[in-house]
Structure 1
Amino acid sequence: MNAPISAALSLFSRLPPAERFHVHARAFSAPLEAIAARVPPGGTVADVGCGHGLFSGLLALSDSQRTVHGVDPDPRKIEWARQGPGWLPNVKVEVGTVETLAERLPGHFDTVVVSDVLYLLPVERWPDFLREARRLLRPGGRLLVKEAEGDGTWKHLKCLAQEVVMVKLLGRTKAGGALVLQSRGAVEALLRRTGFAPRETVALGAGYSTPHILYVAEAVAEAPASAP
C-alpha cells in the first residue's frame, strides 16, 4: 500500500476493530489516491458524504495548506471521523448534508468532492443535489464526482449486489432510495444541466471489481432553477 493512504489509515488506529475494518476495506476497494490527485493544491475542499473521513484525512495529510470540511448525514460515522482525521488541524467534520452546508457556506469552497453518494439517492434527487453542490463552489470551482458506472457489465451487477448487502442487510450505509448506477453519458448531460462544464471523465475500474468512474467538472454558470 502506498505511503499516503497508509498514513491516512493510521489516523483510525484508535477505532474499534469493526470500524477499522470498514475503513481499510474502503481504502482497498476504491481508487482514493487517483481521485485525490485531481484535487487542486491548497484551497478549501468540501467532502460531501465523507463517511468515516478517510478521504478527508488523505487530502489533509497530502497538503498542509489545504482545508477540508467533511459532512455526512450519519452521526455514527461522523463520531468515528472526529476520533480519526478530525484531530488534524486542517480538517473539520460534522453531521450534515450538501443542502445544510450550502445554506451556511455558499460560494465558500474551491473544490467539492462527492464520492459514492449519488447512487444512494433516488435519481430524481440527483439534479437538486448537484445544484446544491454548485452553490458551495466559488466561480470556476471544481467538482469531482466518483461513482460506479452503469455499463451493464458483471462489475456493474456485482456492485449493486454488494451495496444491497451493505445498505439493506448490514445497515452499514444509509440510502434514500433505489440503488441506481447511471451511464457516463447520462451523468455528463446532468452535469451540464446543473451548472457545470465537464472537463474530464476518467474510468478508474482497472484492477478493481467495481466500475469506478470519476467526473471532473467546473462550475461555469448558475444552474437553471427548474431543469429536470
Structure 2
Amino acid sequence: MSTLLDQSLALFSSLPRAERFHVRARAFSAPLEAMAHRLPAGGTVADVGCGHGLLSALMALSDPSRTVYGVDPDPRKVMWASQGPGRLPNVHAEVGTVESLAALRPGQFDAAVVCDVLYLLPEERWPAFLRTVRSLLRPGGRFLLKEAEGDHSWKHYKCLAQEWVMVKLIGRTKAGGGLVLKPRSAMETLLRASGFEVRETVELDAGYTTPHILYVAEASTAR
C-alpha cells in the first residue's frame, strides 16, 4: 500500500465497518491512484459520481493546492464522503448530478474525472452525459474517463456479473438500466463527438480482474 493510499483510507476510519470495508475493497479493485497522478497540478477538479469519495481523497491529498468538488446522486454515499474526505479543506461533496453541477459551475473546472459511472447509465444517455461533462471544463481542460473495456475477455464477463450482483441482487450500487461495456474504438469516437480530443488511451488492468481502461482527453477549443 502506498503512503498516499494509506493516508486516504485513514480519512474513512470513523465510518461504520461495512462502509470502511466497501471503501477498502474499492481501493484494491480499481487503479484510482493512476488516475490521480494523471491530473494537471493544482486547479479545480470535478469528481462526477464520487461515491464515498476515495478518488476525491487521493486527488486532494496528492496535491493540496487542488480543489475537488464531488457530486453523487446517492445521499447515503455523499453523507459518508462528507464524513470522510469532506473533512479536508480542499474537498467538497454534495448530492447532485453532472447536470446540476454544470448548472451551478459551467466552464469553471480545470479537470473532470468520471470513474466507473458511464456504464451504469442507459447507453442512449451517454452522449448527453459526456457533452455535459464537457460543459464543466475550461477550454483545454483535462477529462479522465475510467471504464471497463468491452473486449469480450473473461474479465469483461466477470465485471458484468459482479456489477449485476452489486446493482440487481444486493442494491449496493445504483444504476439506471445500463451495465454496458463498449470497445475502446467506440468510446474514443464518442468522446470526439462530444467535444473532446483524445490524448491517450491507457490499459490499467494489469494485476486486476476487471478490464480497466482510462481515456485521457482534453476539452476541444473548437466549440
> If the TM-score is normalised by the length of the shorter chain, which range does it land in?
over 0.9
Distance 1:13 1:91 in 2: 17
Moved more, 174-183 or 149-158: 174-183
The residue aligned with 2:173 is 173
**2:118 partner amino acid:** L
RMSD over aligned CA atoms reads: 0.8
The residue aligned with 2:123 is 123
| Identical pairs, percent | 71
Give the TM-score normalised by the residue count of structure 2.
Answer: 0.99
Give the TM-score normalised by the residue count of structure 1.
Answer: 0.97
> How big is the shift at 1:170?
1.1
* Matched position secondary structure for 2:205: coil
| Stretches of 4+ aligned residues off by more than 6 angstroms | none
Structure 2: state its 5+ residue gaps. none
> Which string of whole-angstrom CA distances, capped at 9 and with x for unpartnered residues, describes residues 145-202 of structure 1?
0000000000000000000000111111100013000100000000010100000000
Would you say how many aligned residue pairs link Structure 1 and Structure 2? 223
> How big is the shift at 1:221?
4.4
> Which string of whole-angstrom CA distances, capped at 9 and with x for unpartnered residues, describes residues 108-152 of structure 1?
100000000000001110000000000000011010000000000
The residue aligned with 1:218 is 218
Structure 1: state its 5+ residue gaps. 224-228
> Which string of whole-angstrom CA distances, capped at 9 and with x for unpartnered residues, describes residues 70-127 of structure 1?
0000000000001000000000000000000001100010000000000000111000
The residue aligned with 1:226 is none
Distance 2:78 2:222 in 1: 31
* Matched position secondary structure for 1:106: coil
> How big is the shift at 1:29?
0.1
The residue aligned with 2:196 is 196
The residue aligned with 1:32 is 32
Matches within 5 A, 1:71-150: 71-150=71-150
The residue aligned with 1:206 is 206
The 3 A distance-change label for structure 1 pair 165 and 222 is: farther
Distance 1:111 1:83 in 2: 24
